Amino acid sequence: MAIRDIILYPDDVLQKECEPVDEIDDSIRELVDDMIETMYHARGIGLAAPQIGVLKRITVIDPTAGEEEDNLHVFINPEIIEAEGRITWEEGCLSIPGVYENVDRAARIKVRALDRNGDPFEIEASDLLSVCIQHEIDHLDGVLFLEHLSRLKRRIVLKKYKKHLKRIEQADEEEGQH
């Protein structure tokens, strides 16, 4: 297992639609393991393959960020087959660090996907898990949570993001001087 670099906005790869996985072999399982390791290392609750530069329809999600056992979900070629209700949840993104904003999503969803062994399954999700799945499937479609915001909110969030990146850059420079 390896920790991969997370691609940051505005990299073009984040806005590309991913290809379905045709065959689940050892290389795909290794990719899934790397994604899990990367997500936990970054203290995230979800990660989609394009966030590490791989344009495949794969996402890993753990709404507890590894705090509780048996909450890790692997979705290969996921598709939402039912959605109902509305929920607003504060979202962030490992590819847009340091900013969070409320996003409206479906409150409950039903998803069909393949697991890491290629076995099909369906899962019903609500609340945070539902939000995570929808956020990650958006990544697979080349959509960022920013696109669910009004133009004004998007501008405010991007301004915060640029300030956050500048602070990181300054901290790195200072660290390099010591």
Catalytic residues: 136
The residues near 14 (Cβ < 8 Å, ≥ 6 apart) are: 7, 50, 51, 95, 139, 142, 144
User: Tokens in use for 20?
Assistant: 């379905």
Q: Is 159 exposed, middle or buried (0-12, 13-18, 19+ CB in 10 A)?
A: exposed
In whole angstroms, what is the distance from residue 105 CA to residue 107 CA? 6
Q: In what order do the strands lie in the sheet with 73-84?
A: 46-48, 58-61, 73-84, 108-114, 120-126
Which CA distances in Å does 126 have to 83, 118, 130, 154? 10, 24, 5, 26
Query: Where on the phi/psi map is residue 89: left (φ > 0), alpha (ψ -120 to 50), or beta?
Result: beta
